[in-house]
Amino acid sequence: MPNIRDLPNELLLWIVSHLDGSALFALAKSCKDLDFRLQPSTWKYNIRFQNSNLLHLAVKYDNVGLVDALLQHNANINAFYRGKTPLMRALKYSSAAVRELLLNRRDLDINIQNQARDSALSYAIHYGSSSIVKSVLEHRAGSVDIKHRYGRTALHLAVFTGRIGFVQLLLLSGSDPNLEDDSGQSAWSWACRINIPAMKIMFINGPDCEVYLGARNAQDSELPLHEAVLHGSIDAVKWRLRQKDLNLDIQDRKGYTPLHLAVQSRSLEVVDLILSHPLANVNCKDKDGNTPLWLSTYSSCDEITERLLAEKDIDVNFVGGRGRLEAPSTSLHHAATRLDTILLRRLLAVPGIALNLCVADHSPISVAAYHGHVKTVACLLSMEGVEINGRGLIDPSICRAVSHGHLDVVRLLVQQGARLNVNESTVATHDTALCIAARGGDLEMVREILRHGRIDVNLRNQWFEDPLMLAFEEIPGSSKGLLHPEGHSKQNLRRQHH
């Protein structure tokens, strides 16, 4: 009986041409001599006419030599066989040697996807180890954020499988945690739903963080930059600021942007990092419509205020405070409430600062007079263009100072001479400063006001009360003559004589 081995090569090749890849592979294993005779003709035939399916079998059975030989004969490394490329099979079945052979081929399309939208990277996530995932990610042409089924990236898949190491590798490779799948969910939002603390902190603090901590605010976990700022992690903030499609104006559930949170945390370094980002908006608003500068001056964060003022687009005259219990105000109003003048002098040096902006019935100098801050009033008075009178819009500064018993402020204002309209009255009751002092029975205050050369002691308020009438029961009788027109005139003559 003739042996198949004795047949001519041409006939053997004809027989082989009717075999598929699995039969060829079986032939090679069962009949070494025959296989040797037909090589490399069978390989060439399989590559040309059978879509290189022999390569798939060589990969599956981890036959490194055959894989190498087929690749040397230009087997199609990107050919699909039953929905998989050779590399996909290698990631599922083979050794590192086979994977390395495939990954080192220049003609490898590592991003190719089958009809189910699987890729080599998704296979590595599903079937591989960290070293396998890393080898795929290190391929020069690899796309880390290629979209798979349902629009999900490899980072989505790593989150679903709960593989923290994979998440770390993907983030280190530049995967964007904010890319959304077809349902509108990002890998970060899915991580929050799955709620693995270590994974969440990796998103927050960056993939190179060494210590995993629990998320500080689960309600805000969908905004990792906010969480990074709250945690005070400089490295985490730096990493989050490097992400694509960053929205620095977005508010958390409490209504704050990352920059507002940095100001609240009094973290100058974080503020500087955020402001250094090209998308930073120094005038961004929180839920109450307040800017970071307004919040900074309100909270007396002087170093942060200095950094914010260095921004060329800063709105130094912004009126904030709406939505809070406090009355609306500007940063200059905040400075006027302080005993020191450090912030005040810095703000006054800003070009375009509005010295006389009236907000909630107060100008900056009237605020200082109200609080009795002599140094602040003096600093404002030194500025050219500061209006010390109410001009019928607000209560005059001198009236506010008298009402609260701030004698030193009253003395300073009276010294302004003609610059001060000493006879100006309050908006509501038309009381002059002298009326207010007389009603309060403050003799020393009355005397100080009377030092002004243009004082009119006959002016009455809305109830037609003049200072003398108001002082009748409050000021000692011997001193009432100061308020009498003739007595006041004689006093002025004596002052002029001296």
pLDDT digits (tens, 9 = 90+) for 299-321: 999 999 999 999 999 999 999 98
What is the overall mean pLDDT for the chain? 82
Question: Does residue 24 carry a pLDDT above 60?
Answer: no
**Mean pLDDT score, 74-94:** 88
What pTM value is reported for the model? Answer: 0.60
One-character DSSP codes across 117-154: ---HHHHHHHH--HHHHHHHHTSTT--TT---GGG--H
Classify the C-alpha dihedral 163-166-172-176 as positive or negative: negative
- pLDDT reported for residue 335: 94
Per-residue pLDDT band for 403 (boundaries 50, 70, 90) equals: very high
pLDDT digits (tens, 9 = 90+) for 320-356: 987 665 688 999 999 999 989 999 999 999 999 999 9
Per-residue pLDDT band for 370 (boundaries 50, 70, 90) equals: very high
**Mean pLDDT score, 429-434:** 93
- pLDDT reported for residue 344: 94
- Which whole-number Å values give the CA distances from 71 to 53, 65, 78, 461, in the listed order? 12, 10, 11, 104
pLDDT digits (tens, 9 = 90+) for 114-173: 999 999 999 999 888 888 898 999 898 999 999 999 999 999 998 888 888 888 888 888
Q: Which range has highest mean pLDDT (66-80, 119-133, 238-252)?
A: 119-133
**Mean pLDDT score, 217-246:** 73
- Which whole-number Å values give the CA distances from 121 to 117, 154, 194, 270, in the listed order? 11, 7, 22, 35
Q: In angstroms, rounded to a whole number, what is the distance separating the alpha carbons of residues 344 and 336? A: 7
Per-residue pLDDT band for 442 (boundaries 50, 70, 90) equals: confident
| Beta-bridge mates of residue 329 | 320
Per-residue H/E/C for 9-21: HHHHHHHHCCCCH
Per-residue pLDDT band for 187 (boundaries 50, 70, 90) equals: confident
Question: For residue 152, which of 127, 124, 187 has the smallest C-alpha distance?
Answer: 187
Whether the CB-CB separation of 131 and 139 falls below 8 Å is answered with no
Q: Is 487 exposed, middle or buried (0-12, 13-18, 19+ CB in 10 A)?
A: middle
Q: What is the largest CA-CA distance in the chain?
A: 153
Question: Which domains, from first to last, does the chain contain?
Answer: 111-205+223-231 (1.25.40.20), 359-474 (1.25.40.20)
- pLDDT reported for residue 211: 36
Rg (CA), the chain: 41
**Which is higher by pLDDT, 249 or 131?**
249
State the CB neighbour count (10 A cutoff) for residue 378.
Answer: 14
**Mean pLDDT score, 186-197:** 78
Instruction: Tally helices (H) and strands (E) across the chain.
Output: 30, 0
Question: Does residue 491 carry a pLDDT above 60?
Answer: no
